[in-house]
Amino acid sequence: MKQKMKLIIGMAGFILFLGIAFVAYNALNTQSAPTIVLNREQAESEIQAPDFSMTDWDGNIVRLSDFIANGKPIVLNFWASWCPPCVIEMPDFNRVYLDIGNEVQFIMLDLVDGMRETVQAGKRFIEENHFSFPVFFDTRQEGAMNYGVRAIPTTIFIDREGTIITGVEGMIDEETLRRGIVLIQ
């Protein structure tokens, strides 16, 4: 009888634990929903985009400041091939890039950790999906650290002067991407 009571109490405790975990997860998940500032006047403060180095497709080291010097607005997207929301938003980024890629610099920055994500895995993903946008690799996590990336995908919108106008943590669709680009043009 004591054995049965212990089993019932143990199961009740486990069910209670699952319920608390479910409520906590939902509360935290709603707090980090993607948001975007919709116009420049709503931006809380304008911050100069931190510079960092990254590797281009051919293995050359380039800096964000090189692109800022070109005078084009920049869409900086942090992603990885293993990230489901990143994979889902990539076709939208590719469509927008094909439409206006000559007006805006796209920097699709693959967060390479050498274990879960490698340069080879990122390149394979891009090639298999026939994406056209420029891809770079954050092999030292310098970009992610400088921008305080807590989750991927994360997209930062930088104007032609190198000022961060807004950003989105989480997956975005084509309409939201285009609205962000309007703010930096």
Q: Mean pLDDT, consecutive 10-residue segments, the chain of 185 residues?
A: 68 56 48 42 69 96 95 96 96 97 95 94 97 97 94 96 94 95 94
Structure confidence at residue 157 (pLDDT) = 97
The DSSP secondary structure of 96-144, one letter per residue, reads HHHHHTTTSEEEEEEE--SSSS-HHHHHHHHHHTT--S-EEEETTSHHH
For 65, the enclosing helix (H) or strand (E) is helix 64-69
Question: Which pairs from 24-32 meet CB under 8 Å and 24+ separation?
Answer: 32/151, 32/169, 32/170
Burial class (CB in 10 A: 0-12, 13-18, 19+), 137: buried
Query: How far apart, in Å, do the first and last CA atoms of the chain sit?
Result: 74
CA distance linking residue 176 with residue 29, whole number of Å: 20
CA distance linking residue 44 with residue 41, whole number of Å: 8
Structure confidence at residue 21 (pLDDT) = 52
Looking up tokens 């989105």 gives 168
Residues 6 or more apart whose Cβ sits within 8 Å of residue 60 = none
Structure confidence at residue 35 (pLDDT) = 44
Structure confidence at residue 2 (pLDDT) = 72
